[in-house]
Structure 1
Amino acid sequence: MSTTETVMWLLLALVGFAGSALCSGLETGLYRINRVRLAVRAAGEPPDVRARSLQRELERPDRLLASLLIGNNLFNYFGTVGVTALLGVFGFGEIAVIVLSALVITPLLLIFAESLPKEVFRLSSDRLTPRLTPFLVWSRRLYTGVGALPLVVGFGRWASRVVGADPSATVSDSPRERVAALLQESAGDGSITAAQSTLADRALRMGRLTVEEEMVAWRRVRTVPAGLDRERLLDRLASMPYARAPVLDRRGRVVGVLRHADLWLFPDEPIEALIREPARLNGSEPLRVALLQTVASPARCAIIERGRVPLGFATPKDLVEPLTGELPAW
């Protein structure tokens, strides 16, 4: 065998093992990369073109991982063929080639083309993976062009349906769920603290809640009737553990809200002047909207009612606790 052929087989073996190492490392890098940092880089000014391209690839994880699977097997084949040919060049027989492959080549392949690159990418996924995005894109296009990628992806989806699994179960179309997944990933790798992750998760859940889900049901609300004098009002309010009490007319409708402290702060004011108008909500308002209306109302609280029939009562504390957690009474 000529020197040219020897060099050719050597290059084929090196390309095979290097490509296998690259595919193995990228597989780990794609699992480990911080999606929040990637999104920040992609949305920066000027935007990181490779980060944006990697984001698009990650939207189809089945296709991306199938590309790496095809590439890894292909490069392993190149490396094995190259090494086998080189051993033949140096005069080893078929049995010797098999023995050397089992005792030497396989362990080296496992270490330098599998374990080592995976560990390198595990430690430096945010730095290395975006840089190698062009390799991911062009290899995916190549495998698609020759028909290998559609075949592998299609077979994977068929196998998933056969065993009763949803092949798209891990891919969410909901922006809120995607953000939640990003936050969980960031909390998992230490990019944000557990407290920050909890707060962000509460903020996402708060966007789905309505006033009716967080109000105090009317049967639990302590009220006072309109028309009582100051002394009787003080007696009534003294037995209540709350700072405010809705005031009801004879038909049970809410005419306003009275603050206990106002009876002491303004002893010369008539009772009617101390009754403040609450925000009036129907219960379907999102918490953020309801909180703004509640804080802006003179009574700084809200009555939830339909057709003037009261259904519940809410204070800013009730509306903000889904975000902050339980707060002391104020």
Structure 2
Amino acid sequence: MSEQTQPILKAEHLGITFGGLKAVSDFTMTINAGELIGLIGPNGAGKTTVFNLLTGVYKPTEGDFWLDGEHMNGKKTYQVVRAGIARTFQNIRLFKQLTVEENVLVAFDESFSYHLGGAIFRTPRFWRQEHEMHEKAMDLLKIFDLDGLASTQAANLPYGQQRKLEIARALATGMKLLLLDEPAAGMNPTETEDLLRCINVIRDRFGVAILLIEHDMSLVMRVCQRIQVLDYGRTIASGTPEQIANDPQVISAYLGADDHLVEGEGDDIVKSLQGAKETEAANGTNGTNGTNGGER
């Protein structure tokens, strides 16, 4: 495969078994540079398990995956991060006693090249790199409108801003692939629209490939270029947002065996699928233009 066409992520027949339970089976996916791909499915479909496989939390019991041509099976979590995969979590995991800027600076750890002696004696090299890292951190925070809060303790940020800070910290690792696990969970509509705007800026400005788990189907339909659907750990559909919205297997997976809407998550999600489809038709969009863009 030529360098120009080599995908950022290539997963082939990836799977994991816990005892006698196959949590994920035969998972195959390709993500190219700059693509924003959605991974959706009902609760328990295996979406977060896929994230855990891709980040070294779990070791696959079948299949293989590559990051930018590098075979990743068996690598530890810190090795995965160094190779270029970063993630966020459904439950925000910040260093809440550190400031906003310090949370980003932590992710720059690999970029510091001065030694302990330089830090102790405050050498010119130390101060030069400290200034460079500060400027880089502030540039990232500006993308998320967090630069004015750089000295604020992370624990004191509103929920939506904590979400954005977590993504900014992930971006600071210099990753090639960003895994977002329900980034809009718990956000109000205004916060969600702002977050998706930031995600699009990241993709457009840095060319970062993004794999997104999100329960809000209307957002997924608007922001994702392609969508892959899991059910009981297996892929049941893959295609454009319009194709997914029209796929009978996808609708059946959310509704259950019956052909009638039922109360609960399936009802809400299918209505979102149908509503997003109607919105696209009315606006003349196809869900791939990258405009505004927790289940398990």
The TM tier, using the shorter chain, reads under 0.3
**Whose strand fraction is larger, Structure 1's or Structure 2's?**
2
How high is the TM-score relative to the length of structure 1? 0.21
Larger RCO of the pair (alpha carbons < 8 Å, separation 6+): 2
How high is the TM-score relative to the length of structure 2? 0.23
Larger radius of gyration: 1
**Whose helix fraction is larger, Structure 1's or Structure 2's?**
1
